[in-house]
Amino acid sequence: MSLIAGLLTLISVSCTKKIDLYPITSDVETNFYKDQKDCLQGLTAAYNVLLWDAPQNQNIPFQLVSEVLGDNCFTGGANATDIPGTLRIDRGQIRVDDLAPKAFWYKYYTGIYRCNLLLEKMPAATFDSPELRNRFTAETKFLRAYYYFDLVRLFGNVPLLTKTISSSEYNQKQSSPEEVYKQIAQDLTDAIAVLPSYKSMPTTELGRATSDAARGLMMRAWLYYTGYYNKPELPGVPATKILEISETLINSSGHDLLPNFADAFVNTPPYNFNNKESVFEIQYSSLAYSGNFSYREEANGNLSTMLWSMRDPSAASIYAAGWSFAPVDAEFYNKFQANDARRAITFILPQAQSVSYTPGYQDSKIFPNKWAALKVNNSSKGNVALNYPNHFIAIRFSDILLMAAELQLLHGGSAGKAQQYFDKVAKRPRPTDYVSPAVSLDAIYDERNLELALEGVRYWDLMRRGNAYAQSKIDINRGEPFISKFNAAANGLLPIPDQEIIVSNRTLVQNKGY
């Protein structure tokens, strides 16, 4: 019996009711996006991809994987074979058929597709005002730039898609990084011109992209592109312009440092989300109540919280059980002086709190504290692991100040301003009699490593100072199992997923080193 005949037989003997031929919903792409309500849903869908820590069911929060790629964290997990692909990421041995690169590719092109679709549909949709349409358009361009920036940093050579494509067009050629960064710069320029500033945002809208978030992302993209590719400027954005952008953000946005470093990382209710130090913040939430491990893209919780936390902490402690991935290198912890207030906020030392736990692979007895799994945050519905509400600050104002210090120092600005911005960050967590060192690129990098610890920034800082510099920091061999290695042959990039090369009819070209 053929498969079709078998299915027909099954239907004939098991169904007593007429088959319902009506769709579950009448909202499909061809008749959706007709008004601003529809477009708001489309914009929400574009934002939603920011929350995808496990696309295609792979545990790959961008910030955590970035730390494993860098020099401050190892692999972790229950044992060396827990997620073998993560160990290969840590040791510069990623395979072209590994699932993590494939999942990243899927995540970011899904986000880009949702942005492109909305940009195509909005011109014909009905809005109450042209200003609202323009704002939605600018937010969508910010998100597209955000997704492309992560994508091009991970893979280097990617197709640049600014419109939706059909399945017959999947054989897209890769664009040059310069073309991709030119589009990122244009999208962010458009967003800066239209989006409201942080200081004008009502409380109910905090978390949405602002002109200041676009300025911050432009600064980050500018420094990365000029550093990694050894270029004098981001396409279309000369040094004078990026200095102007940074000055506007610092002096006119309403953003500032909070008085205490700890205030930026309040992990218990009522939290301190979307505070003035947060320039752009990913709005994780427990409200999806997800319990579906086979489709984790529906979850809105911060998966890094679970992945990074200790296994089986003692029942009397405040901590919930995690999976102990990306254990912190003890040598990194030792770079923090005892009188640096950031040390206690950044790290948990369970033994110092008389908390027992089950050691995982490469256990260093040190865990992240900025997004720790706490019992008070355990969701009452769905699966606890998928529903932690800890937000992630993707761009903090302290990062803005340190990037601005670097721009002022090295790209035609004022050495005095560079020192001023550096001092503002360096002095906050230290005793009042602390004297900052003279500002230099090395001093800025050292301060960035302490200030932005475990926030997914370090690897990309190393990459933008060149292969040799990155390799000198990342290559670690203290004997098994504490080994990390930088893939210099691949210039630190991930491989293009082999499945994507096949689907493109081999139009896509594999990155060198794979």
Q: Cβ-count burial of 18 within 10 angstroms (0-12 exposed, 13-18 middle, 19+ buried)?
A: exposed
Buried b (16+ CB within 10 A) or exposed e, 266-286: ebeeeebbbbbbbbbbbbbbb
Our CA angle for 409, 436, 443, nearest 5°, is 45
What is the mean pLDDT of the segment spanning 113-134? Answer: 98
Q: Please, which residues have CB within 8 angstroms of residue 398's CB and are 6 or more apart in sequence?
A: 257, 277, 425, 428, 451, 452
Task: Give the burial class of 70: count Cβ atoms within 10 A of its Cβ; 0-12 exposed, 13-18 middle, 19 or more buried.
Answer: buried
The pLDDT assigned to 311 comes to 98
Whether omega for the bond prior to residue 497 falls within 30 degrees of 0, making it cis, is no
Task: Work out the mean pLDDT of the chain and round it to a whole number.
Answer: 94
Mean predicted confidence (pLDDT) in 389-405? 98
Question: What sign for the dihedral angle of Cα 474, 281, 338, 403?
Answer: positive
Q: What percent of the chain has pLDDT over 90?
A: 93
| b/e code 501-511 from CB counts within 10 Å (16+ = b) | beebeeebeeb
Q: Which CATH number fits domain 206-283+391-465: 1.25.40.390, 3.40.50.1370, 2.40.128.20, 3.10.420.10?
A: 1.25.40.390
CATH number for the segment(s) 31-195+487-514: 1.25.40.890
Residue type, 175: S
Q: Tell me which residue has tokens 């059909």.
A: 166
281 neighbors 294 (Cβ within 8 angstroms)? no
Q: Which pair of tokens denotes residue 271?
A: 């939290």
User: 186-207 burial, b for 16+ CB within 10 Å, e for fewer?
Assistant: bbbbbbbebbbbbeebeeeeeb
- Per DSSP, helices labelled H in 83-238 are 84-90, 99-121, 130-155, 177-194, 211-228
Pairing between strand 367-368 and 347-348? antiparallel
Mean pLDDT of the region 434-462: 98
- Give the count of beta carbons closer than 10 Å to the beta carbon of residue 49: 21
Domain boundaries, the chain: 31-195+487-514, 206-283+391-465, 294-389
| pTM over 0.85, yes/no | yes
Kindly calculate the radius of gyration of the chain based on its CA atoms and give it in whole angstroms.
Answer: 24
* Candidate from 84-93, 265-274, 288-297, 354-363 with smallest mean pLDDT: 288-297
Q: How far apart are CA 312 and CA 322, in angstroms?
A: 7
pLDDT digits (tens, 9 = 90+) for 421-441: 999 999 999 999 999 999 999
pLDDT tens-digit readout, 23-50: 556 667 778 999 999 999 999 999 999 9
Q: In the predicted model, is pLDDT for residue 5 greater than 80?
A: no
pLDDT of residue 21: 53
Pairing of strands 392-396, 367-368: unpaired
Express each pLDDT in 221-272 by its tens digit: 999 999 999 999 999 999 999 999 999 999 999 999 999 999 999 999 999 9
pLDDT digits (tens, 9 = 90+) for 299-348: 999 999 999 999 999 999 999 999 999 999 999 999 999 999 999 999 99
Domains 31-195+487-514 and 206-283+391-465 share a fold: yes
Is residue 183 over pLDDT 60?
yes
For residue 291, CA distances in Å to 50, 244, 391 come to 19, 47, 19
